[in-house]
Chains A and B, each alone.
Chain A
Amino acid sequence: MELNKREFLTLSAGALAFASVAGTSGIALAAVEPTADEMIKAFTSGAAVGEGKVSLTTPEIAENGNTVPVEVSVESPMTADNYVAEVMIVADGNPNPGVATFKFSAMSGEAEASTRIRLAQTQNVIAVAKMSDGSFFMDKKAVKVTIGGCGG
């Protein structure tokens, strides 16, 4: 039998552990918001960021820019000495590029997270993963935000 998500949630209600979402948006600060590049540099302390391992899934064109589904997963054995510690997601064209930082541990089993984000315009969504050994990997996807309405 293939268990679907609805049945799974019904069965396991209350038993689920959610990754903590550290939202960085929402509070209007007087200070100028850091750019996506600045946020990534702060996250990595300037370390080199490799390609691969991180898979970011986004729609090519947003159906609704106010709530765009974003999924991220990172390849990792997720063992005590080799796991994904954190994944930061930024949107480089938003007035406030910070989206979320997901924290994981070896106990997480898998480094996967999904959320819905608001995109003000066509832009890149970037996910940067910090591994337990201090290395970094990223994936980047362009998401188009359009008025729509003229499909044939």
Chain B
Amino acid sequence: MITRRDFLQWSAVTGAFAAGYCGSLTQLAAQQKITQEDLLRFDSKGTVTLLHLTDIHAQLKPIYFRPPDTNIGVGNFEGIPPHLVGQTFLDHFNIKNGSMLAYAHTMTDYVNLARSYGKLGGLDRMATLVKAIRADRGEDKVLLLDGGDTWQGSYTSLKTNGQDMVDCMKLLKPDAMVGHWEFTFGTDRVNELIEEMDYPFLASNVFDNEWDEPVFEHTAFYEKGGHKVAVIGQAMPYTPIANPRWMFPEWSFGIRAEVLQANVEKARAAGAEVVVLLSHNGFDVDQKLATVVSGIDVILTGHTHDAVPEAIQIGSTLVLSSGSHGKYLGRVDLEIKNGKVVDHNSYLIPVLADVVQPDKEMSAKIDEVRAPYEAECNRVIGKTDSLLYRRGNFNGTWDDLICDSMIAERDAELSFSPGFRWGTTNLPGSDITVDDLYNQTSMNYPSVYRVEFTGTQIKEILEDVCDNLFNKDPFSQQGGDMVRVGGMGYTCAPKQEIGNRISNMTHLKTGEPIDPGKSYVVAGWASVNEDVEGPPIWDLVETHIKSLGTVKLEANTSVKVNDA
């Protein structure tokens, strides 16, 4: 059988293309030339290489992940990366339509390009690239840094409490990591897994509530390419707000810019020539942080799942945002002279799963950790005729399906689904497996509640969540997308202030406006409150998909955006 890799690499020679296999001959002409060597081609600089992977969300295997069609920036961040999508993104970065980068970074012609280029990521492919770069540059020049949200997001990570990810990541030999969803495994499990790692879990901004002292190491030092490099870690600052605080009640977070500034100065005083911030703050938070804290050479940022092809420069700080789900390996090379970065080059390497040879050792380990669950993971629960995806500011089809499930299975009028940015994509015509279902729902607080909210309360909730997304001050943003609402339409004006963004709330079933004084039965999941009762979301969605057999979703036009 001919694999897609063989096809991509050799079909040029034979000139035989399956008709209708992809969108156009131009695309094929571009992609057939792609080899692993092409992906790795890079204009090296100096003697220090930083490799960054972040927000893998427990995706050990290659996946599809459709980039957002809506990613609105406000205030100083309007119309600049990462708040560019589709054709605007391509034009800004001078990327050709139909090219490998167009496929990786945008949703233009997504389904066609996905069928042509195949899946992205896979930790075994990642391992191959990391090993190749280490071999090329020399291990003494390369730092591999894990930006966190590594342990959560799949069936196997849920069943093994993150053990599968810790065991596989060990083989990659990262030099440090930071965290966010890691904390939702609870204080004890986090400590237990950190014990097993032979690299540090860094956090400059996590303090214990009792003594107000740092919980984790804040900085790690390395000798790379003849230079002393300091890596400071930053956990997701709003973990206890965005996720259940009761799961790690001993710990307090926050941006703590003043603590970070002090740690940068300590690192310099200890002789660091390069200071790197390994951050789970989110791209906009880190863009602002670069203007508030001085002395950081490179911020490797994660959390908001933004993928920008190369580092942006803010003052003398480079900020690289390396996407999510294992789609990219971020690389920054630094040339250092007299304790200063004098030259650099950076790039996100798209991990085209059908082009990169899987690393044998990692493949075997992935098979081993999945073996007890493989049959269940591959169990087919339904089929989809529609493209199922999540990422985007307001809605995604996966969330439409989840919202429909809650309304149908919990006899609710409306439903809420959190605006998570993790979750993979199913192409039209594909099976929906248990793997796919848990890629959308895997978490430790999955109960589906059923409550009554008045129209006024629903508006307050929407306004509150919306302000966490569109507050003009990035330090007031939590990094998720807008809560998804089933059964209701509304208009959102991102540029307004809290209290004035949400209007025209309409009960879709009746076409009536939502009555401020009336109570509505609302079902939702992933509440941050303790002792929430209800069935886990995955059971509910599975029942619903089975009852549908084949998922067909209409385009969702229930949220209108008002640009004023």
A contact residues vs B (CB 8 Å cutoff): 4-6, 57, 59-64, 69, 122, 144, 146-152
**For residue A60, which residue of chain B has the nearest CB?**
B475
- Residue B530 lies at the interface, judged by CB distance under 8 Å to chain A: no
A-B pairs with beta carbons under 8 Å apart, 10 shown: A60-B255, A69-B212, A149-B243, A150-B418, A150-B482, A151-B236, A151-B239, A151-B479, A152-B419, A152-B421
**B238 near A151: Cβ-Cβ < 8 Å:** yes
Q: Which residues of A contact B245 (CB under 8 A)?
A: 63-64
Residues A150 and B480 in contact, CB atoms below 8 Å apart: yes
Contact with A along B167-205 (1 / 0, CB 8 A): 000000000000010000000000000000000000000
Q: Are A150 and B213 touching (Cβ within 8 A)?
A: no
Q: Are A5 and B213 in contact (CB under 8 A)?
A: yes
Tell me the B212-242 residues at the A interface (CB within 8 Å): 212-213, 236-242
Q: B420 near A: Cβ within 8 Å? A: yes
Known: A4-B213, A5-B211, A151-B478. A146 touches B241 (CB 8 A): yes
State whether A152 and B480 are in contact (beta carbons under 8 Å apart), knowing that A59-B254, A60-B255, A63-B240 are contacts in the complex: yes
**Residues of the A chain whose Cβ atoms lie less than 8 Å from the Cβ of B180:** 151
- Residue of A at shortest CB range from B244? A149
Residue of B nearest to A63 (CB): B240
Measured in the bound complex, the distance between the Cα atoms of B483 and A59 in whole Å is 24
A147 to B237, alpha carbons, bound, how many Å? 16
Q: In the bound complex, do residue B241 and residue A63 qualify as a contact, i.e. CB atoms below 8 Å apart?
A: yes
- Chain A residues whose C-beta falls within 8 Å of the C-beta of B478 in the assembled complex: 61, 146, 148, 150-152
- Considering only CB atoms, which chain A residue lies closest to B236 in the complex? A151
Residues of A within 8 A of B240 (CB): 63-64
Q: Is residue B467 within 8 Å, beta carbon to beta carbon, of the partner chain?
A: yes
**Residue with the greatest number of chain A CB neighbours at <10 A, chosen from B211, B213, B468, B481:** B468
Q: Which residues of B contact A152 (CB under 8 A)?
A: 242, 303-305, 419-422, 478-481
Complexed CA–CA distance, A69 and B239 (Å): 17
| A-B Cβ contacts below 8 A, count | 90
- Of B242, B481, B482, chain A has the most CB atoms within 10 Å of the CB of B242
Contact with A along B442-479 (1 / 0, CB 8 A): 00000000000000000001001101100101011011
Closest 5 CB pairs of A and B: A151-B242, A152-B421, A152-B480, A148-B241, A149-B528
A151 to B480, Cβ gap below 8 A? Answer: yes
CA distance A148 to B467 in the complex (A): 10
A5 vs B213: C-alpha distance when bound (angstroms): 7
B211 and A6 within 8 A (CB): yes
Q: List the A side residues contacting B239 at CB < 8 Å.
A: 151
Residue from the list B242, B254, B304, B421 in contact with A148, Cβ < 8 A? B242
A148 touches B213 (CB 8 A): no
B419 partner residues in chain A, CB cutoff 8 A: 150, 152
The size class of the interface chain B forms with chain A is 35 or more
Known contacts A60-B475, A63-B240; A149/B253 CB under 8 A: no
Per the bound structure, the CA–CA distance linking A144 and B478 in Å amounts to: 11
Main secondary structure on chain B at its contact with chain A? loop
Q: How far is the CA of A60 from the CA of B252 in the complex (A)?
A: 13
19 other A-B residue contacts (CB within 8 Å) besides A148-B528, A149-B243, A149-B527:
A5-B212, A6-B211, A6-B213, A60-B237, A60-B255, A60-B475, A61-B241, A63-B252, A69-B212, A69-B252, A144-B467, A148-B238, A149-B465, A150-B242, A150-B418, A150-B482, A152-B242, A152-B305, A152-B420
Contacts of B304 in A (CB 8 A): 152
Instruction: Give the residue name and chain of the A residue nearest to B474 (CB).
Output: A60
Given A149-B418, A149-B526, A152-B421, A60:B212 Cβ within 8 A: no
Question: Counting CB contacts under 8 A, is B258 at the interface?
Answer: yes
- The answer, among B241, B461, B476, for a CB contact under 8 Å with A151, is B241
Choose one: A61, A64, A147; the contact of B465 (CB below 8 Å): A147
| Complex CA–CA separation, A152 to B255 (angstroms) | 17
**Chain A nearest CB, measured from B150 CB (Å):** 15
Residues on A with C-beta less than 8 A from B236 are 151
CB-defined contacts of A62 to chain B, threshold 8 Å: 241
Give the shortest distance, in Å, between B496 (CB) and chain A (any CB): 16
Determine how close the nearest CB of chain A comes to the CB of B233; give it in whole angstroms: 18
Interface residues in B246-291 by Cβ distance below 8 A to A read: 252-255, 258
- Complex-state Cα separation, A148 to B445, whole angstroms: 14
Contact B476 A60 (CB under 8 A): yes
Instruction: List residues of chain B with CB within 8 A of the CB of A6.
Output: 211, 213
**CB atoms of A144 and B526 under 8 A apart:** no
Q: In the assembled complex, how far is the CB of residue B469 from the closest CB belonging to chain A, in whole angstroms?
A: 8
Shortest Cβ gap from B391 to chain A (Å) = 9
Are B461 and A147 interface neighbours, CB within 8 A? yes
For the complex, what is the distance from the CA of A59 to the CA of B498, rounded to whole Å?
Answer: 19
Question: Across the interface, which residues of A come within 8 angstroms of B527, CB to CB?
Answer: 149
| Residues of B contacting A59 in the complex (Cβ-Cβ under 8 angstroms) | 254
A46 to B385, CA, bound (A): 70
Q: Is the CB of B213 within 8 A of A149?
A: no
Query: Contact flags (1/0) for B350-380 with A, using CB distance below 8 Å?
Result: 0000000000000000000000000000000
A149-B418, A149-B528 known; A61+B213 contact, CB < 8 A: no
Q: Which residues of A contact B422 (CB under 8 A)?
A: 152
